[in-house]
Amino acid sequence: MASIKTIGLLTSGGDAPGMNAAIRAVTRSAIFSGFKVKGIYRGYRGLVSDEVVDFRAQDVSNIMHHGGTILKTARCKEFMTAEGRQQAYDVMKKHEIDALVVIGGDGSLSGARQFASEFDVPIVGLPGTIDNDLYGTDHTIGYDTALNTIMWCVDRIRDTASSHERLFIIEVMGRNAGFLALNGAVASGAEAAIIPEISTEVDQLAELIESGFRKSKRSSIVLVAESPITGGAMGLAERVRKEYPQYDTRVTILGHLQRGGSPTAQDRILASRMGAAAIDALLEGQRNVMIGDDDEHIVYVPFSKAIRKDKPIDRDLIDILRRLSI
């Protein structure tokens, strides 16, 4: 492998708060270590269509407290094809980019893995997704901010929910993972979380209804992870209407509210540590790994492991939710 002089940086897929802090950390650490940095706009789309600019240390000033990503992000169909990836490689060569840092979720890292299997390009990934669904890292960049946003929203819904015997079903994001729903439920004092990880084991809705509403309150709040497996909030509400018509049900879908906002301190620190670690990884000759956080320690996780779909949920939290919602 030729030595690395220039690093290309992109954000891809769903945006997440903290991506800007990661862009800042990668750019500044790289320049600190003597590399040149090129910012690639709109994820893989910008790599295919040649939207590449030089990044200096001052280009990433005053960005870390903003949500979204200054590099913009996109989904790119061309990169799913061999021709599109060849074009992306040609653009890299044109700009003399020797290595890539990709900030994104499961799809973006799958793309990185595919690209690295076809071309001799060292790639380091940073887990940038609110869903926390990447294997091999305790937390992803953006997850803590989204969790805090969910808590903030549920607190407000609870304020209006106090005087009727109502079942509030609140749908949160998660892309087939229950981290936001389960942790959001614990953090906001909700009665239950309906999550894909255990949907095939138990009928969580029946279990919740049969256990009765919380005795000390007249309304119940349930968080559900968006997923075809859980049925989402609409699917659950439909079931309640048919199977338990005695309950007055209200649905709130938090949607894109969860992606926005200024990142929390935790996300900014995680993004800063991971961004610096991405440059360390390249300096150490690592390639095709995602930076992970294991008990506050930086670890290198091969892409093939990071994109496994079965990151385990903390089952103790399910039990804690049950105990605390009597």
Comparison of 73 and 188: residue with beta carbon closer to ligand ADP: 73
Nearer to ligand ADP, 88 or 222 (CB): 88
Q: Is 114 in the site for ligand ADP (CB under 6 A)?
A: yes
Nearest-approach distance from CB 110 to ligand ADP, in angstroms: 4
Closer residue to ligand ADP in complex, CB, 141/190: 141
Q: Which two tokens stand for residue 150?
A: 């969910």
44 binds ligand ADP (CB under 6 A): yes
Q: Which of 75, 158, 239, 250 binds ligand ADP (CB under 6 A)?
A: 75
**13 near ligand ADP (CB under 6 A):** yes
Span near ligand ADP by CB under 6 A; candidates 19-27, 110-118, 197-205, 277-285? 110-118
119: left (phi over 0), alpha (psi -120 to 50) or beta: beta
In the shown chain, the binding pattern of residues 128 to 157 toward ligand ADP, with x for contact by CB under 6 A and - for none, equals -x----------------------------
Burial-class residue 242 by CB neighbours within 10 Å (0-12, 13-18, 19+).
Answer: exposed
Asked if 108 touches ligand ADP (CB under 6 A), the answer is: yes
Q: Which stretch binds ligand ADP (CB under 6 A): 28-36, 71-79, 138-146, 248-256?
A: 71-79
CB 165 within 8 Å of CB 151: no
Q: How many chain residues are in contact with ligand ADP, going by CB under 6 A?
A: 17
CA torsion sign for 140, 143, 77, 100 is negative
Where does the chain show beta strands of DSSP type E?
A: 6-11, 36-40, 52-55, 99-104, 123-127, 166-172, 192-194, 220-225, 248-253, 289-294, 297-302
110 counts as binding ligand ADP under rule CB under 6 A? yes
Question: Contact with ligand ADP (CB under 6 A): which of 9, 10, 23, 106?
Answer: 106
Beta sheet of 52-55, edge-to-edge order: 52-55, 36-40, 6-11, 99-104, 123-127, 289-294, 297-302
Q: Whole-number minimum distance, CB 77 to ligand ADP, in Å?
A: 7
Query: Whole-angstrom Cα distance, residue 199 to residue 201?
Result: 5
Indicate the pairing of strand 166-172 with strand 248-253. parallel
DSSP string, 189-209: T-SEEE-GGGTTTS-HHHHHH
Residue 69's nearest CA partner among 120, 29, 119, 108 is 108
Near ligand ADP by CB under 6 A: residue from 14, 136, 178, 231: 14
Q: How far is the CB of 275 from ligand ADP (least distance, A)?
A: 17
Cβ closest to ligand ADP, residue 28 vs residue 259: 259
Our CB check for ligand ADP shows the closer of 189 and 261 to be 261
Catalytic annotation, residues: 131
**Residue 108 or 258 with smaller CB distance to ligand ADP:** 108
3-class secondary structure, 120: coil
Is the four-CA dihedral 188, 189, 194, 197 of positive or negative sign? positive
Q: Residue 233 and residue 250: Cα distance in Å, rounded?
A: 9
- Interface residue list for ligand ADP (CB under 6 A): 12-14, 44, 75-76, 79-80, 104-108, 110-111, 114, 129
